[in-house]
Amino acid sequence: MRLFTVLLPPIGSAKASGSVLDGAVFVRDGFHFWALLLGPLWCLWHGLWLAALAFLALSFALIAIGSGFHLSTQMQILAQLVLAFLIGLEAGNLRRFGLRRRGFVERGSVAARNLSEAEAIFFADTDLSEPEPQSAPPPPPAPGFSKRGAAGEEVVGLFPEYRGR
């Protein structure tokens, strides 16, 4: 079984069909072989411009460090392979990060054998209405040393007692 994270586009960017669910993106967790093999191209294909630039910069830095320390060619190749392997391992996280930066909202996770089964499970369990907009988190409590509890007694600290909840 594979785990897929479901990300929905921002509510204001609904396509012409009108449903936000049409733009849902399923990102698979785990190792991505094509990100290992073609790291910068994989990043560019998925719109991860900064990740592609960072990968290239790290690659050139490894080459410069290797030639500066007069490392053997095998060691330099090993360093490049380790960098490519790390990109393959973290490709799903890079893609989720890039989508979140563009305003996508995480809607949930689905465990399935493949992408089509994950889509079927997600859309079967999801009502086809618009997702409710995420409300802002409640404001933090006002700073202070002392507060009144539920029964009016003095409470020391930031958290009131656990009565009546």
The verdict on residue 36 lying in a domain is: yes
Is the pLDDT at 16 greater than 50? The verdict is: no
The verdict on residue 156 lying in a domain is: no
Split into its structural domains, the chain has a count of 1
The whole-number pLDDT of residue 126 equals 78
**What DSSP line would sit under 98-114, residue for residue?**
HHHHTT-EEEEEEEESS
Helix (H) or strand (E) holding 59: helix 49-68
Full-model pTM: 0.69
The verdict on residue 152 lying in a domain is: no
The verdict on residue 150 lying in a domain is: no
What span, in angstroms and rounded, lies between the C-alpha atoms of 110 and 89?
A: 20
The verdict on residue 148 lying in a domain is: no
- Full domain range(s) for residue 20: 2-130
Contact indicator for 118, 112 with CB cutoff of 8 Å: yes
The whole-number pLDDT of residue 66 equals 95
Q: What are the pLDDT digits (tens) for 76-87?
A: 999 999 999 999
The verdict on residue 69 lying in a domain is: yes
Cα separation of the two ends of the chain? 39
Contact indicator for 27, 138 with CB cutoff of 8 Å: no
Which of 26, 50, 76, 49 is CA-nearest to residue 84? Answer: 76
- Beta-carbon-side half-sphere exposure of residue 69 (alpha carbons within 13 Å): 10
The whole-number pLDDT of residue 98 equals 94
The verdict on residue 54 lying in a domain is: yes
Q: What are the pLDDT digits (tens) for 31-50?
A: 999 999 999 999 999 999 99
